[in-house]
Amino acid sequence: MEACNVAILGATGAVGREMLAQLEERNFPVKNLKLLSSAKSAGKKITFKGSEITVAEAAEDAFKGVDIVLGAAENDISKRFAPAIKASGAVYVDNSSAFRLDKDVPLVIPEINPGDIAMHKGIIANPNCSTIIALVAANPISSLSPIKAMVASTYQAVSGAGAGGITELEGQLSAFPKCETVSPSVFQYQIALNLIPQIGSFGENGYTSEEMKMQNEGRKILHLPEMKVSCTCVRVPVMRSHSISLTVITENEVSVKDACEAIAGAPGCRLYDDVSALKYPMPLLTSGQDLVYVGRIRKDLAFENAISLWCCGDQIRKGAATNAVQIAELLLK
């Protein structure tokens, strides 16, 4: 791959820093690198491949001469700078939800729909973290029979809410043995020793915005516009790596044996399934790496032609930063 000029928008946040780490870990051919953030973070120094880079304030003229921009900023910031990025001639790989459902913007998981990248018009969207983890696990089954519907329950780590989520859980865990009162600020309620069955805002149908992403984004990625998904998203007191309980309902019957073989051979997956040895995916196993671990694979007892499974994946890496860098790699190829 030929070296190119790269910028990271939102470079000082958790995902932005992980994008930087993935560029280095994957030996991405960076010619020149710009780290862009808010005025508050401008001036900070971050090390990349042994050299210090000073973070600059994001501005409309900051993208001149850049080939690929990796976006790790919030929706409003992404929308603000997208026109300037496109005008500069760079391709914008955006991790926010700002453009995911736009018909002219490919929504890409490289292990599933890499060909969609060719349709971009200057912007390529990174899917939601839970969508990525669930679909990497489910896509091998779709290769055996088209998916009609899915029932999903997500168990999402506090780091999915950013660095503040980690700090809040750490503070509450520290306060608990001292019998100190906690005052939640990042989450709606105390998260230590608790579960919160709400991520995102509630819609008129009773589902949250986070829950609807699994259906809306899944349809676009899998090219299955009629696929139905019933999803419940839960915040759990886990630091890192999301877990998902998933039932995949297919048009034709798929055996457990065939499903296991397909998952074992699928890119981005690791079959981790031996209940006799208490071997199944867990957040502690899957943090700090890029594979989606899949286990507890079994025939579903409520639906015909359905397979149930349990999967875990690092939502900061594969669920965000690594997926974006993989897209950038495909752009260069």
Annotation says 120 is catalytic? no
**Measured distance CA(327)–CA(314) in Å, rounded:** 17
Which pLDDT value is given to residue 86? 97
Among 93, 150, 97, 98, smallest CA distance to 124 is for: 93
Write down the H helix ranges in the chain: 14-25, 75-88, 129-142, 163-175, 209-222, 256-264, 283-286, 322-332
- Write the class of the CATH domain 131-315: alpha beta
Which pLDDT value is given to residue 44? 96
Catalytically annotated residue among 242, 260, 269, 311 = 242
Catalytically annotated residue among 4, 120, 129, 260 = 129
Which pLDDT value is given to residue 2? 86
At the topology level, CATH places domain 4-127+320-332 in Rossmann fold (3.40.50)
Which pLDDT value is given to residue 333? 85
Segment 288-312, tens digit of pLDDT: 999 999 999 999 999 999 999 999 9
Cβ partners under 8 Å of residue 320, min gap 6: 15, 18, 72, 95, 126, 129
**Measured distance CA(267)–CA(291) in Å, rounded:** 9
Report domain extents, the chain: 4-127+320-332, 131-315
For the chain, list residues with pLDDT below 50. none
Segment 62-102, tens digit of pLDDT: 999 999 999 999 999 999 999 999 999 999 999 999 999 99
Residue matched to tokens 């453009």? 99
Which pLDDT value is given to residue 241? 98
